[in-house]
Chain A
Amino acid sequence: MLNTTDILETIRMIDHENLDIRTVTMGISLLSCADADIARSCAKIYEKICRLAEKLVPTAESIEKMYGIPIINKRLSVTPVSMLTAVSGGDPVLYAKTLERAAQTVGVNFVGGYSALVQKGFAAGERELIRSIPEALSVTERVCSSVNIGSTKAGINMDAVGLMGGIILEAAKNTADKNCMGAAKIVVFCNAPEDNPFMAGAFHGVGEPDCVINVGVSGPGAVRSALTKCPDGDLTEVADVIKRTAFKITRMGQLVGKSVSERLGVPFGIVDLSLAPTPAVGDSVAHIIEEMGIEVCGAHGTTAALALLNDAVKKGGVMASSHVGGLSGAFIPVSEDAGMIDAARSGDLSIEKLEAMTSVCSVGLDMIVIPGDTSPSTIAAIIADEAAIGMVNSKTTAVRVIPAIGRQAGEELEFGGLFGSGPIMKLHNDRSSEKFILRGGRIPAPMQSLKN
């Protein structure tokens, strides 16, 4: 028999602590759409996406209603588009426009996969695709792009890193009238996961089935609220409380993912165990860290608190789901987290501290607004630093920085919605990294890659 306390706890978590399913993402393989003729290739893509994802949004909405749990985003991820341009040649932006049109037809808010995987070098079509990213993101609204420039197995492709510094800047300039949103839709990865349901870095890896449903959960508010009931417990107790809450949150993700996949007749892929914050009050990862006893996120001790949080979330979540994947860890996107925004504004949270934090949690330097006059080589150097952390620690790291064109450190950039707003962070751009970046080549894979 169900217990009244449990029932009321679930309702409180949803109503007052912003517990929700952050995204149900359908992954679709576009390999079967590749055609030497780009127009035919685009037509096949449009047809396949509309056929497979036709019922995604209404099905997710009916599950939402049945369980009373909000599903905030319904999204698509597709095979990296560079693989299609390799076959068809032609202008890659045509693919971006096709994806936009298909996303509009099926009613999803984002489609990820305008991507290239170049960790070891550029194959046919990849350089052209990367060069087209700024234009593709300025002529579309729902298309997201990602580029994998490194991995523990392959090392870091520094030519690609150098290229991406300029691409990010150009994407921001092309969308300067829209708060530089273009750059917020590009993620540069090291060790990119192939089943990530979260944007902007989602794409459908080549090892994935033809079509799959992946789910990303959320719930920083529920974790923080559980911790308020343990004000004086030691850190072992804190970890236990987080584990228990993460278990419950993940079970909900598993239930929703399974129900959506059964109704659509599409295999269920993974639950991504991430704690994804939003700018809403009470939905912040920084506030969990502060609840643990750090006065403000960014103070000494933040990295340790985040490491504990990240590990406990995984331990709690892993038993709750039959398949865990994606990024799975706590996210620290500065502009999307009310506590991080405050800490960055007050100067307590610096980019150096954020970089340290990324070595113990999921993702990387995420949604960080930087001065608009930052040079491409400095952006590339930020990417290289972050990729090195991922490569050496066999984990995913990523960079999503937004150069605020025409603005300086201390000012703010307002994106609105889930993207939030970001204070422009100070960089060390008075010192150059240009020579290092211009050397190009490849940083060899570390010893950690030799596991066989």
Chain B
Amino acid sequence: MKAVITVVGRDTVGILAKVASVCADHNANIVDVSQAVLSEMFTMVMVVDISDLNSEFSGLQNALSALGDTIGMKIHVMHEDIFNSMHRI
């Protein structure tokens, strides 16, 4: 089971590290990361394996959205099925 973490906001130092550290705390294994900075707007998409989470899925969501609030970025964590069903036939 995988989830997609998206981080959007103004680019600053250490975003990737902070997000990765929350993932590690929850035992979410990062399987893919892509990021781009366009005119100072930072966009990162991270795919994580959530099969062996050490908390509820909502625990990871809450921790990341709290992190988003602290660093002033918008962080979403959504189950990959929503993207698969919307964009695949």
> Interface on A for B, CB 8 Å cutoff?
1-4, 6-11, 15, 62, 65-69, 248, 251-252, 254-255, 319
Are A67 and B87 closer than 8 Å at their CB atoms? no
User: SS class of chain A's interface: helix, strand, loop or mixed?
Assistant: helix
Cβ 8 A contact of B4, one of A2, A9, A62, A248: A2
Are A66 and B86 closer than 8 Å at their CB atoms? no
Are A68 and B86 closer than 8 Å at their CB atoms? no
**Total A-B residue contacts, Cβ distance less than 8 Å:** 65
Are A69 and B32 closer than 8 Å at their CB atoms? no
Q: Is B47 located at the chain interface by the 8 A CB criterion? A: yes
C-alpha spacing A10/B89, complex, angstroms: 15
Total B residues in contact with A, Cβ cutoff 8 Å = 26
Cβ 8 A contact of B83, one of A2, A15, A62, A254: A2
**In the assembled complex, how far is the CB of residue A331 from the closest CB belonging to chain B, in whole angstroms?**
22
Using A2-B47, A11-B6 as known contacts, say yes or no to A252 and B58 having CB atoms under 8 A apart: no
Are B45 and A252 closer than 8 Å at their CB atoms? no
Cβ 8 A contact of B61, one of A3, A8, A65: A65
Are B34 and A68 closer than 8 Å at their CB atoms? no
C-alpha spacing A67/B57, complex, angstroms: 11
User: Max chain B CB contacts within 10 Å: which of A2, A6, A8, A251?
Assistant: A2
Q: List residues of chain B with CB within 8 A of the CB of A252.
A: 82, 85-86
Q: List residues of chain B with CB within 8 A of the CB of A9.
A: 87
Q: Is B11 located at the chain interface by the 8 A CB criterion? A: no
Cβ 8 A contact of B32, one of A1, A10, A251, A319: A1
Are A7 and B4 closer than 8 Å at their CB atoms? yes
**In the assembled complex, how far is the CB of residue A29 from the closest CB belonging to chain B, in whole angstroms?**
30
Cβ 8 A contact of B87, one of A6, A66, A68, A254: A6
Q: List residues of chain A with CB within 8 A of the CB of B36.
A: 4
**In the assembled complex, how far is the CB of residue A97 from the closest CB belonging to chain B, in whole angstroms?**
36
User: Max chain A CB contacts within 10 Å: which of B32, B36, B47, B86?
Assistant: B86
